[in-house]
Every structure is written in C-alpha cells, then in structure tokens.
C-alpha cells in the first residue's frame, strides 16, 4: 500500500530511512503554499489521497480540511507550535495532530543570547559606522551584560535554557510564569529588566501581551527580544516606542504577526529594529532532530502504532505550546550554579521541588514554610523576609558548615 505525504521538498530526504525500516513505499508531494488560499486551490485540483500532512506555518483550517478529497490520518506540525492548525476541526474529523517536542530549545536560547550580547556590544551600530567609513571608538557606548538583569516571560524549555545561559554570563534573572513559585508580576519584570525575552505561546490571553502600556514601563535603554509569536507584541506599539526612544532602545524580533513580513512593513527599515525571518530555532542540527521525529511518527503510522510524539488533538487540547515547547510532563528546573536538577510530577502538574539545592536562593525556595517568605539574594532584591532560623540554616548549608538535613525544618 502506498502512503502519501504532503509537505515541503526536504521531506523527500527524511522518509528514506522510514522506507528502509518499514519496507513500505512512501510518496512525498511537496508544494509551496504559504497561504490558505494557495493550499486550498491545490487540494481541490488534486484527486490524490494524502495520509500525512506536514505544515510549518501554512494554515490548516476548517476550509483547508474541507478541500481534501480524502481525509488525512495525521496533521504533523513541523515544529512545536501548532497555532496555525484548527485543532477542533481536526478533532471533529478524528484526525490526529502531532508536533515536534523540544527540538530547538538550545538553538533559540543561543539566538536570544546572541541578541543580548550583540545589543550590549552595539554591534549593529558600530558595523554600520564602519561601513560608512567612520572610525570612532567613542561613537557608541558599549556595556557588559554581567550584572545586567534579564527578564524571561514564559519558563518552558526555552526559557529554562535561556536562564542557564544568561547566568553563565553573570546576569541576574527574573521570571514571569504563573506556574512558577518564584514568578514575579509582568509589570514588575518589565520595570526591573535591562533585557526582556518572550517565550510564551500565542493564545487569547497572550495576544498583544506587550502593548503600549507595557512598553512604557520598560527601563530606558532596554531591549525587547521576541522569539515566541509575533502577535504577542503589538507591532504598532513597538514601532511607536522605538520612535519615541524613551524606554525601549531596540527590538530584536524573529517572529511577526503576519509572515512573511510584508516588504513594506515599517519595522523592516527601522534603525532600532533587528529582524530575522523566523529562523531562531532553525539550524542544521535542529532540522535533523525535527526530521527524525517526523520520520518516527510516519514509521509508527505505517506500522499501525500510535504516534510516538505528543499528540495535541486529545485530552490536553487547552495546553499551551509554542516553538520548542515543553514535553507532556510539566517540568521545573531549579536555577543552580552547579548541576541543574529537574523534578517532574507523575500527573504532569508542576512541583516546586529541587534535589540537592546548592545556592542560597534554591534553599530558600525549597525550605520556606507555608506562609513564610523568601529573600532573593541571588537576584539582588528582597521579595519578603524569611524566618531567622531558616536564614541561618540556609546560610550554614551553603557555606558547608552544617550537616543539618532539610527534614529538620518543621
């Protein structure tokens, strides 16, 4: 039996190993359809049966699904984000929807750090001056990122990796995520941060999460970095903020409300905007990892097995997912200068617990009694005051002068 896949041209290379493993023939048809209209036109003109549809950003809507002459078995998001797929329409047709999981967390985090370091070093401005023939070592003030504050909005796999990278450069980190015990309110994060990096999915709650009011709260000279989804930031508001220059100094964006970003869009030529075409997670290595995951799902389909990867058209429909998002299990990574520890609850819920905490902040987070408070020494700010005995015990453990065990705290 012939299995047919609708996707981009690179898929032809990805299915070779699948065919070898299953001994079954797979036909890949690739089309370049960036809009719903283009895709529907192709489907209505074709009588081919497609078992698997792989889509990066092309919308798979109710209208698209109606255009298939034969119902596909799987809609595979080529990436982690699936906000371009109509989940309810797929569910009503009993079509499975799958995505890639944790395929480019490191790559996106590297992009964020490159944006931070490049902005701190003013590489764009200095490069432009050099191109003009200018040699002025004092033309643009540069700064170190050490001791600068990074605000991370959204603490999934990418946010966790960004924090790890940032702390290795000596940055202070504050986080806004409602599932995290040490989360701070968004407005407080914006006021405190020199750099703000967004890592949230696009939902009704996060659309225009950063608008004019939020941008007005940011520190003068701060930098906003968006690798999540374009709609999370109001593009009109960020344009106005960049023109004003009172708060945000630069906007580094890899994602946009409408993609491809129109050639005439004012962000393209704004001197304070650094833009890339949604490539933060795309490297040779991450593409290979994504390909392997898609090929595995295809192999399992051919073998009559359930998809190995996270199925999003199921009981967890309302769970938020963005590019390089978390796995099925809710994971909390404790910030630590030594080996990082991960604790996961079996029921998928978040659990604020760490193994062998090493820093003062970790111990305070781990040990404080219900109703007591935590002094965030690591971030250089006081959230609230811990009990004296807890503070002393935490200090002793960090300094290695006590053999007391955490269980001694009542």
125, 259, 296, 351: the active-site residue: 259
Angle among Cα 248, 251, 256 to the nearest 5 degrees reads 135
Rounded (10°) angle between helices 388-399 and 360-367: 140
Q: Are 78 and 56 in contact (CB under 8 A)?
A: yes
Tokens of 188: 């407080």
Instruction: Tell me whether residue 358 is one of the annotated catalytic residues.
Output: no
Q: Are 83 and 113 in contact (CB under 8 A)?
A: no
Instruction: Tell me whether residue 125 is one of the annotated catalytic residues.
Output: no
- In 3D, which of 307, 243, 259, 261 has the Cα closest to residue 101? 307
122, 249, 278, 361: the active-site residue: 278
Q: Are 286 and 103 in contact (CB under 8 A)?
A: yes
Q: Which residues of 350-366 are buried (b: 16+ CB within 10 A; e: fewer)?
A: beeebeebbbbbbbbbb
Q: What is the CA radius of gyration of the chain?
A: 24
Q: Are 325 and 201 in contact (CB under 8 A)?
A: yes
Instruction: Tell me whether residue 351 is one of the annotated catalytic residues.
Output: no
Strands 331-333 and 342-344 turn out to be antiparallel
Phi and psi at residue 376, in whole multiples of 5°? -85, 80
Q: Partners of 382 in the beta sheet?
A: 375
Helix (H, G, I), strand (E, B) or coil at 293: helix
Phi and psi at residue 223, in whole multiples of 5°? -125, 130
Residue 306: Cβ within 10 Å count: 11
122, 182, 199, 229: the active-site residue: 229
Which H/E stretch holds residue 54?
A: strand 52-55
Active site residues: 229, 259, 278
């Amino acid at each position: 039996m012939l299995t047919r896949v609708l996707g981009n041209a690179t898929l032809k290379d990805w299915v070779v190993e699948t065919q070898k493993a299953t001994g079954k023939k797979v036909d890949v048809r690739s089309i370049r359809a960036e809009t719903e209209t283009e895709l529907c036109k192709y489907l209505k003109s074709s009588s081919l049966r497609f078992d698997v549809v792989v889509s990066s950003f092309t919308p798979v809507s109710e209208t698209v699904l109606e255009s298939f002459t034969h119902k596909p078995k799987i809609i595979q998001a080529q990436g982690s984000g699936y906000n371009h797929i109509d989940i309810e329409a797929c569910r009503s047709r009993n079509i499975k929807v799958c995505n890639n999981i944790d395929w480019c967390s490191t790559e996106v985090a590297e992009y964020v750090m490159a944006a931070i370091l490049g902005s701190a070093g003013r590489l764009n401005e200095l490069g432009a001056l050099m191109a003009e023939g200018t040699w002025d070592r004092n033309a643009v003030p540069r700064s170190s990122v050490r001791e600068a504050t990074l605000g991370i909005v959204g603490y999934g796999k990418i946010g966790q990796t960004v924090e790890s990278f940032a702390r290795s450069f000596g940055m202070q980190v504050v986080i806004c995520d409602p599932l995290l015990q040490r989360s701070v309110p968004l407005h407080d994060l914006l006021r405190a941060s020199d750099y703000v990096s967004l890592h949230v999915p696009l939902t009704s709650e996060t659309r225009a999460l950063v608008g004019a009011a939020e941008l007005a709260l940011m520190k003068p000279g701060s930098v906003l970095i968006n690798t999540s989804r374009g709609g999370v930031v109001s593009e009109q508001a960020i344009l106005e903020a960049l023109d004003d220059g009172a708060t945000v100094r630069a906007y580094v964006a890899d994602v946009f409300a409408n993609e491809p970003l129109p050639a005439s869009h004012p962000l393209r030529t704004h001197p304070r905007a650094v833009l890339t075409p949604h490539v933060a997670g795309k490297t040779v290595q991450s593409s290979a990892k994504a390909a392997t995951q898609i090929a595995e799902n295809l192999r399992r389909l051919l073998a009559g097995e359930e998809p190995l990867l996270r199925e999003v058209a199921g009981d967890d429909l309302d769970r938020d997912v963005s590019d390089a998002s978390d796995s099925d299990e809710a994971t909390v990574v404790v910030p630590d200068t030594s080996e990082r520890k991960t604790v996961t609850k079996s029921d998928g819920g978040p659990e604020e617990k760490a193994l062998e905490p090493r820093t003062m902040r970790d111990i305070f987070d781990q040990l404080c009694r219900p109703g007591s408070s935590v002094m965030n020494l690591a971030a250089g700010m006081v959230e609230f005051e811990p009990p004296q005995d807890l503070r002393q015990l935490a200090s002793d453990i960090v300094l290695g002068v006590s053999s007391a065990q955490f269980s001694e705290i009542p």
